[in-house]
Amino acid sequence: MGEALQTALTERYDTLTGSLRERILTFVLAAFDSLPAYRDTDAAAFLERVLPVVLGVQQQMGQVTDAYLTAMLADMLGTTTAPATSAVAEQLRGVPPATVYERPFVQVRTALSRGHDLADAVHQGRTRLLSITETDLQLARTHAARGAMERGGARFYRRRLNKTSDTCALCVIASTQRYRVAELMPIHPGCHCKPEPLPGNRDPGQVLDEQLLKDAHAAIARDLGASDRGGRAPDYRQVIITRQHGEYGPLLAVRRQNFTGPDDVRPA
């Protein structure tokens, strides 16, 4: 079927995953907003209500991603593989989910201890919850994608930008590059990109879209200035890099940023 089928599969996948994301974000934020307080007992009630739903949606994201890429690869490469029975592990970060989803309450308490009023503290906790939930959905996508592409015989992939949401410069530049299937797709909090296998097994080279890469660099230079105070022209290929985050795995980052590494994460 070729391009027509692949386009239809992609549109269907985008619709399904967009709906999953919207529903789970609405659910967890409403549950957080409805709490009478944000003490330990409230956190326990929140986790009891929310965690089973969150973990179920992560599994759905993994299964939908696995089915989508299995069908894409079957059309691209003529391969036939069975979908995975369990596309993602429950502990996507290597940390118990209850620990992760208790962090918004820690954020609230920390903000209060630093003198913020209750409304601002709760807002900070809510923002943390939104970031955690979005990131976990993206991790479910990337973990399932790697498994599906490995089983389907793909060697290389690219990241496709989400057309329905704002896209940051990190993702635009990263979307011009090819990646090896053995490498988990780098993400960042709020990232909505999706892995897409490349047809064939020949390495297409590191840069897939030279013009888009040039346009992105030109836009950054236009907005931020083409040179630093020392008069040197910055190379944005060196500014935007991939770091290894202790929980997320590969993380798109700016070179000056520092993140927790795998050796910094201690078992609970």
Is 223 in contact with 169 (CB distance < 8 Å)?
no
Report, as an integer, the average pLDDT of 238-244: 56
For residue 266, pLDDT over 70 is answered with no
97-114 CB burial, b ≥16 within 10 A, e <16: beebbbbbbebbeebbee
User: What's the chain's average pLDDT?
Assistant: 80
For residue 125, pLDDT over 70 is answered with yes
pLDDT at 199: 81
Question: 187-215 pLDDT, tens per residue?
Answer: 666 678 888 888 877 787 877 777 777 77
Is 176 in contact with 146 (CB distance < 8 Å)?
no
**Both tokens assigned to 216:** 């992105």
For residue 226, pLDDT over 70 is answered with no
When mean pLDDT is compared over 190-199, 231-240, 243-252, the highest value belongs to 190-199
Q: Residue 25 CB: number of other CB atoms within 10 A?
A: 16
What is the sign, positive or negative, of the torsion defined by CA atoms of 37, 43, 48, 54? positive
Sequence-distant (≥ 6) Cβ neighbours of residue 201 within 8 angstroms: 153, 155, 156
Distance CA 3, CA 19 (A): 24
The ranges assigned to domains in the chain are: 3-264
CA-closest candidate to residue 153, choices 177, 179, 181? 181
Distance CA 167, CA 162 (A): 7
**pLDDT over 90 percentage in the chain:** 39
Higher-confidence residue of 189 and 179: namely 179
CA-closest candidate to residue 142, choices 98, 87, 203, 190? 87
pLDDT at 68: 92
Q: Residue 156 CB: number of other CB atoms within 10 A?
A: 20
Task: Using pLDDT thresholds of 50, 70 and 90, give the confidence band for residue 261.
Answer: very low
pLDDT at 19: 94
Report, as an integer, the average pLDDT of 118-128: 97
Question: 159-171 pLDDT, tens per residue?
Answer: 888 766 566 667 7
